[in-house]
Amino acid sequence: MSKGVWFVAEQREGALRKISFELASTARKLADALGGEEVCAVLLGGAGVESLASQLGKYGTDKVFVAENALLEPYTTDAHATAAAKVVKEHDPAILLLGASVQGKDLSGRLVGKLATGMATDCTEVKIAEGRLLAVRPMYAGKCYGEVAIASNPQMASLRPNVFPAIENAKACQVVKIDAGLDPGKVRTKVLEVQKDAAGKVDLTEANIIVSGGRGMKGPENYVVIEELAGVLGATVGASRAAVDAGWRPQSDQVGQTGKVVSPNLYIACGISGAIQHLAGMSSSKYIVAINKDPEAPIFQKADYGIVDDLFKVVPELTKEVKKLLA
């Protein structure tokens, strides 16, 4: 009989990603709702990744299954999906959670096929109803929310980053070393080079504050205006699809349905009209501030606070006032 709530932890270069702690806390909450079932994590990586396991125990994880293998670092779909599927099949959990991050989306698609089950993607809420997982996810570009139940086991769901709280709930975490079961001849992907962002900024999907610019920025040279505000706030800079398509910002900065889906505590939209594709990618932000000259811009319908004025006048003044507050 399937039992337990599992999740696949994410790590990069020897550090756990924030989504891993959000997954652990959510898994703990679901396990408690099921009567105190065991919470287990799957942690995959190269030599030394076992040292990260104790951190997951701080957020309610009872047991961490660790596989260390040179083929698991850096991340490749082939290797991680094979290793994760092997341990999940061996232990038959009732629920399996992943992050709806770039890596999580890539892995979950392959994993759901290997496990021959169903999955609710990009969920903003998960709960237990009549002993089964009930997931809530946005649909039709965020215009409505649907409840999804999975008939087969494991019941899989991917959770939108920054939506679920990471709550410390220390457990005596047991570490179990496992064989990844990898055949080098069958791992078809090899990473030859990793190109890092020279700026070393926080990834949009994990940022607590985002300052985004759209077509109203009028050109790439003007992004210095919002970059200065972002620097003062400790924020990450984002962009609309229009700005990316115009070549003003790299694709990695794009927020929206065809870019990155974000859920920061604060989202400041500068010169963004609010096309439905953009709103779908940031509407779950805790607070939204919109700055736009057009009072009829759709972004104001989603914004908690709106300023109808020229961003090139408002943003520098806002930066100046924030500096005063932080001085």
Q: Are strands 266-270 and 287-292 parallel, antiparallel or unpaired?
A: parallel
DSSP label at 103?
H
Distance (Å, whole) CA 44 – CA 56: 13
Domain ranges of the chain: 5-186, 204-326
Contact predicate 315/291, CB 8 Å: yes
What integer pLDDT is reported at residue 198 of this predicted model?
59
Asked if the domains at 5-186 and 204-326 fall in one CATH topology, the answer is yes
Distance (Å, whole) CA 264 – CA 234: 12
What integer pLDDT is reported at residue 200 of this predicted model?
65
Out of 1.10.1030.10, 3.40.190.10, 3.40.50.1220, 3.50.50.60, the CATH code matching 204-326 is 3.40.50.1220
Q: Is the pLDDT of residue 275 over 70?
A: yes
Average pLDDT over all residues of the chain: 94
What integer pLDDT is reported at residue 213 of this predicted model?
98
Q: Is the pLDDT of residue 234 over 90?
A: yes
**CATH homologous superfamily of 5-186:** HUPs (3.40.50.620)
What integer pLDDT is reported at residue 201 of this predicted model?
75
pLDDT digits (tens, 9 = 90+) for 151-201: 999 999 999 998 899 999 998 899 999 999 999 988 999 899 887 765 667
Distance (Å, whole) CA 26 – CA 8: 12
pLDDT digits (tens, 9 = 90+) for 98-156: 999 989 999 999 999 999 999 999 999 999 999 999 999 988 877 789 999 999 999 99
pTM value? Answer: 0.86
Provide DSSP, 122-176. Answer: EESEEEEETTEEEEEEEETTTTEEEEEE-SSSSEEEEE-TTTS---------EEE
Categorize the per-residue pLDDT at 293 as very low, low, confident or very high, splitting at 50, 70 and 90. Answer: very high
